[in-house]
Amino acid sequence: MPATPTLPRLLKEIRACRVCAEALPLGPRPVVQAHAHARLLIVGQAPGAKVHASGVPWDDASGERLRAWTGIDRDTFYDAAQVALVPMGFCYPGRAADGDNPPRPECAPLWHARLLAQLPEVRLTLLVGQYAQRAFLGARRRASLTETVEHARDYLPDFLPLPHPSPRNQPWLKRHAWFGRDVLPALQERVAAALAQAPAQPNIRKKGETPR
């Protein structure tokens, strides 16, 4: 059995992936951020055209809103040792009539299990949009994204589902005032708590302390 790759090697493999190159209108450019000490994991949808151009995850209006929702600044957001940014599809999938295409289906089965296994210190995972919620919550998710987000506290402490922060979702946000009133305070509290926890120190614990 081949040895499990280290995280830097695995990230190099992901960024070099060309599995679905022929299906990508702008060609492959996998975008991901991860570090073994990351304590917050944000699972999004797929990079947009602007992110494809820059190679920086969430480097667009959606990212600005997401950072405002979480209450963390740009420096913290892009500190891989604190925040891992893992989309359901690593490359820009191209445009559809009403927005971007769905994430490519090849990415998550190919990379997610191996990548998430290299993130042992994650304390909270934000599931941004229906694709992440479907993959991580499975049968636990509600009949719609709205219901799933409305019952966000049901998935704590491990997961917190969110709508996509795209400007296209502004009408949804206006219709559902409870999101800003009820969900965002819980989100910011949980994110702050996750990031406040010091990274675990493997093989170092006080005498008599039970391993976590």
The string of pLDDT tens digits covering residues 167-200 is 999 999 999 999 999 999 999 999 999 999 655 4
For residue 208, the model assigns a pLDDT of: 40
What is the sign, positive or negative, of the torsion defined by CA atoms of 6, 4, 195, 134?
positive
Strands (E) across 40-82 are located at 40-44
Contact between residue 9 and residue 36 where contact means Cβ atoms under 8 Å apart: no
Q: Hey, what are 187's tokens?
A: 């989100």
For residue 59, which amino acid is it?
D
What's the angle, vertex CA 105, arms to CA 134 and CA 107, rounded to 5? 100
Cα distances from 58 to residues 1, 29, 53, 84, 180, in angstroms, run 36, 14, 12, 12, 21
Q: Compute the distance between CA of residue 161 and CA of residue 192 in angstroms, rounded to an integer.
A: 16
Q: Compute the distance between CA of residue 155 and CA of residue 104 in angstroms, rounded to an integer.
A: 26
Q: Give helix then strand counts, H and E, for the chain.
A: 11, 6
Q: Which residues of the chain, if any, have pLDDT below 70?
A: 1-4, 197-212
Tell me, what DSSP letter sits at residue 112? I
Place of tokens 């795209």: 166
Place of tokens 């998935």: 155
For residue 97, the model assigns a pLDDT of: 80
Q: Compute the distance between CA of residue 71 and CA of residue 66 in angstroms, rounded to an integer.
A: 8
For residue 197, the model assigns a pLDDT of: 64
For residue 96, the model assigns a pLDDT of: 86
Q: Compute the distance between CA of residue 120 and CA of residue 36 in angstroms, rounded to an integer.
A: 7
List the end-to-end C-alpha distance of the chain, in Å, as a whole number: 29
pTM score, two decimals? Answer: 0.90
Domains of the chain (ranges; CATH) run: 29-196 (3.40.470.10)
